[in-house]
Structure 1
Amino acid sequence: MPTVIPPDSSLDDGSWWCDPASEYAFVGFSYEVTACQSAEQLQQEFRDIRVRFNSRYVRLYGACDREGFYDDIVNAAWDNTLGIHALIWFGFNGDDTFSLLLCTSNPKAKFITRVLQFGSEPLFDNVLPVDELTAQVQAAKANLSDIHIPVTVSELAFGYQERNGSQVLLNALDSINIHMLPFFSQNASIANDSWPLVLTDLDWFIDHGHGKKMYFDENGWPSVTSPSVQPNSPFAVSDIQNEHDYFALLDSMCLFLKHVVGGGIGWFAHIYSDNQEPGYGIYNSTGQLKFPFQPGTHC
């Protein structure tokens, strides 16, 4: 980051952010914030995300209402040269209650907030009718247009497929942020055999996305099941080896993902630590890497 906050004109003329076509392969981590991490912990873990894994972005997940928390996020991202996929969090309560992880007067915020996402899975969880969610997206786009922060929805392919009128919502998005969780497919088995499942969902978004930039944002394979993480296939295997194998599979498909319409697919690892969401972390609950993880950021 520069030593001085740049002028707003660098946002106006598009010179601040890299070309989205360069954002393919591994781009960063989903990061659960329900624990309302301290400023010190955010600095430490964002530094690890940037330096150890060469990440570009942190995708926020969950909600924290601590006053000043997003300022701490902004400062940690700025200090460690990271962008943020910010969040309007609906959660999984079956209602339309949400928390906004974007509110701040921090002058650095607009220079680290790459996109604002509505999530998680508001269509699949039926928190708002499609037309109301579309209206919320359009209102957010209007409110953020002067600082050029794009708006998206963080959602499963099935969330769009099961809702009439969802094409209108897709048309309103600036980018398409996809939940890619093949473990939950009715045809799931092992991660090494999951590429056809990934392609099925990706092809649907290619067919309906009109060439927009796409990311796999909530993207991974669990190493354990839990009451809230249960497969829909009796053959789906959840263990550390399969969590590793899923990310290794995506890494091996770098050239394919690079050339997907819209500027290629950038993918996140869901999630940074098992302390944030058990079974999905790259780190276990004692802070140790569960497997070697150094995916490519380009090819």
Structure 2
Amino acid sequence: MTTVSVAVPRKGRPLEAVLERLADRAGATDVADRISSTLRYEKAIAKGNQSADADVYDRLAAYSDVSEPTEPEYSLLRDDRDGMPRRVVFDSVTIPTDEGAVRLVGREEPFRALRKHEFALGFDSADLVLEEVVELRSDPLGDLSAVNERIDPMDTDVRIRTGLGDTVYHTLLATPDVAPPNRSLDRSFVAEYTGSLCISPRYERLVEAVLGTDALDGVEFTYPEASQTEELAVANAGMGVYLTVTGSTAREHGLVVGESLFPSETVLLENDVERTDETDAVASLLAGEDIDTELALA
């Protein structure tokens, strides 16, 4: 049986979205649930919300089965929290499917692994595509097809195939005194706005892409201080762009929730140069019209 390797994140929401998709398409519910449960438990330990009797090395040995590819393996990484504790993260597992065996391989940066031609297929956040390779233009980014159209073929051979539907949104937020009283808080308002716009430093290029560079004339990016919550930072700036699910937390802080600018979603990525009949078959298995993807801009 042919085995196709697929780069995936080592932890977090994007990895869980991939596991859920394979559970649905390949009947791998048991192994997917076990991996997700293990990583949630280890995250709780790393955050100090859970205690463990065994040390991290004993837990790693107990979780990993190196003798059987269809059983998951895990690795250790230094977490970026205070003290940089060691954290158990996903390493690999092989899942049999009707299109051959799919070997999920954990990578810190799956998108970059595809850019370096280490894999033909991979999953990562759509945010990283916008942050790294999408061309900035005066007009705002349109939709999923426009993302691929704005990738310079001289820069990378990687393209987005589809999203997985695990959507949270980069959303416009503003204080009531800054938000327009008789119109929507949307891109058109930003184009007329002058002043501070609070964002995360890592999303600077993404915000420029989804708003368009013309709309940001007269706008100054500001960033949260280390001790600030995102909502407080936006309130101090007057307006900002941050990830929201329903916007309820922002509203609790007195903020007006405006337009959803871009869906932050896990996406299936393909390196066109590395494609084969086998990888195409796996990509078709993992994609599909049944996915409720929101990868489009209003």
| TM-score, length basis structure 1 | 0.32
| TM-score, length basis structure 2 | 0.32
Greater C-alpha radius of gyration: 2
Higher strand share: 2
Ranked by relative contact order (alpha carbons within 8 Å, sequence separation 6 or more), the top structure is 2
